[in-house]
Amino acid sequence: PRPVYTFRMACAVGRHAQASASILKMLLMGALASTWLGLPAFLGSPSRGLASTLTYGCRASLVPCRAAEGDMLPSIDVENSKPGRRVNILELFRGKKGILLGVPGAFTPACSKEHLPGYLNGVADFKAAGAEVMACVAVNDVFVMAAWARHQKALGKMMMLSDTHCELTKALNMELDATANLGTIRSRRYAMLIEDGKIIKLGMDDDAFAPAMLNALKR
């Protein structure tokens, strides 16, 4: 049997790749072959029985890209402190410089003992270096985030944002499959230095802690 050619396109601009004109032409040719020649075409879904089926055509798959330095934040609403009190993450940083933290979960050990406290203890240093907004977001409901804010004494220092439906996390392609330990999809650990809605510096995992982002802010 003939192979099925898969075109995987990484995005260079924006959040997702767009099919080029040549690939669109190939998709059209595959459809025409199916219609005019009676050949099975493969357009966008996995092939079955390739070993016994003569298959012509092509597949174009969009490969989502994780948020990267130079990207703009997506225009996504998250909840702030109370149900229904929503804030647009892009507008929050519009015309401002600041830090956005993403954490796997409120009250989890590393988040509660190291990640968030590092920023809370250094709020004065971050503000002196030019940070106008300090925000932390997690895939937790607004009640859990509010309780965590009180427990961490974050009120007045850090905006504690709830990405209840994982919309922002998915838009940034920062999902973490934590179903084994936390029962659901959560966010990867990250920190972003944002300026006027643009990601200037992105730190993942160990690079998401306060010292690295403070150094980036001071540059």
Q: For the chain, what's the residue count? A: 219
What is the distance between the alpha carbons of residues 168 and 214, in angstroms, rounded to a whole number? 24
Q: Are 89 and 74 in contact (CB under 8 A)?
A: yes
Closest CA to 73 of 171, 159, 166, 163: 171
- Paired strand residues for 97: 195
Closest CA to 139 of 89, 90, 188: 188
Name the burial class of residue 52, with classes exposed (0-12), middle (13-18) and buried (19+) by CB atoms within 10 angstroms of its CB.
exposed
Helix (H, G, I), strand (E, B) or coil at 156: coil
Tokens of 131: 């940070």
Q: Is 166 a catalytic residue?
A: no
**Residue tagged active-site, from 11, 58, 65, 111:** 111
Query: How many secondary structure helices (H) and strands (E) does the chain include?
Result: 8, 12
Which residue is it, tokens 């009190």?
85
- Paired strand residues for 191: 101, 203
Give the catalytic positions in this structure: 111
